[in-house]
Amino acid sequence: METKHYDISIKSTTNIGELDAKEQELVRRAQNAAGRAYAPYSKFKVGACLLLDNGQMIEGNNQENASYPCGCCAERTALNYANATFPDAKVEAIAISAFNREQLVDEPITPCGICRQALLETEMKNRNSIKVIMNGKRQTIIAQSASDLLPLAFDDSQL
């Protein structure tokens, strides 16, 4: 039997100043959006901010529900709004940040599996990679494409 290896590159920095100006703004906006999250059950407030190729920045945050599975992550809140409002725009980047009980998390959080699948669908629809910027207090890590976060993904080519 043969073993295949999948190689992904993740950039990391402890200095947010190393990001370009737009990316820094995305991170700031993701942090602000987290402040408006509705997370009374987990107390884990997540914010996301998308950069579209038309220059728009779209913010989202997690929206929880007493019926827990009904809740929606920050990433998909932003992504669904962007796709609903600007269906022809390409998503170029997303920044994600989180506060645990009002404290910015030390280490960056990474999107859940469902959000990775949703990001991948947008990436494939637009034929355009989405840079994923994951922000924490100690460091910020960056994937060049959502597909890097979901190897062996299911997609429409398999339908």
Minimum gap (Å) between residue 79 Cβ and ligand THU: 11
Whole-number minimum distance, CB 59 to ligand THU, in Å?
Answer: 13
State the DSSP string of the chain.
---------EEEES-GGGS-HHHHHHHHHHHHHHHT-B-TTT-EEEEEEEEETTS-EEEEE-B--SSGGG-B-HHHHHHHHHHHH-TTPPEEEEEEEEEETTEEPSSPP---HHHHHHHHHHHHHHT---EEEEE-SS-EEEES-GGGGSTT---GGG-
Active site residue 75: yes
User: Residues 59, 75, 92, 123: which is the catalytic one?
Assistant: 75
Of 8 and 112, which CB lies nearer to ligand THU in the complex structure?
112
Q: Looking at beta carbons only, is 53 or 112 nearer to ligand THU?
A: 112
Binding region for ligand THU (CB under 6 A): 39, 42, 44, 46, 62, 64, 71, 73-75, 109, 111-112, 115
Residues known to be catalytic:
75
